[in-house]
């Protein structure tokens, strides 16, 4: 597969006209994706997000913003379900 030419992602996705969803809906949608960076993982991608957030919470209990970053860090991967390369 040849790489697609670069294009401004914000122009294509910035208006959120493709699909609107909550964070929880995006996490559930992420479970439909086979992550090319971890194809042999046998648990849902959302589990990885919660696991990451919980690990950060334990290590940095005073940084609630960091817990959120851990939860959200892979959400962009849902774009692969809409034709973007991983």
Contacts of 76 (CB under 8 A, 6+ apart): none
73 is in an annotated binding site: yes
- 74 annotated as a binding-site residue: yes
- Report whether 48 belongs to an annotated binding site: yes
Query: What contacts 26, CB < 8 A, 6 or more positions away?
Result: 75, 78
The whole-angstrom separation of Cα 19 and Cα 15 is: 10
C-alpha to C-alpha distance for 35 and 25, rounded to whole angstroms? 18
> Which residues carry a binding-site annotation?
48, 73-74
Show binding-site residues for Fe cation. Answer: 48, 73-74
């Amino acid at each position: 597969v040849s790489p697609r030419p670069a294009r401004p992602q914000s122009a294509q996705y910035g208006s959120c006209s493709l699909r609107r969803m909550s964070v929880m809906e995006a996490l559930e949608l992420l479970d439909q994706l086979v992550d090319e960076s971890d194809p042999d993982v046998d648990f849902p991608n959302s589990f990885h997000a919660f696991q990451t957030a919980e690990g950060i919470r334990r290590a940095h209990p005073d940084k609630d913003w960091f817990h959120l970053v851990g939860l959200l860090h892979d959400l962009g991967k849902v774009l692969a379900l809409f034709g973007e390369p991983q």
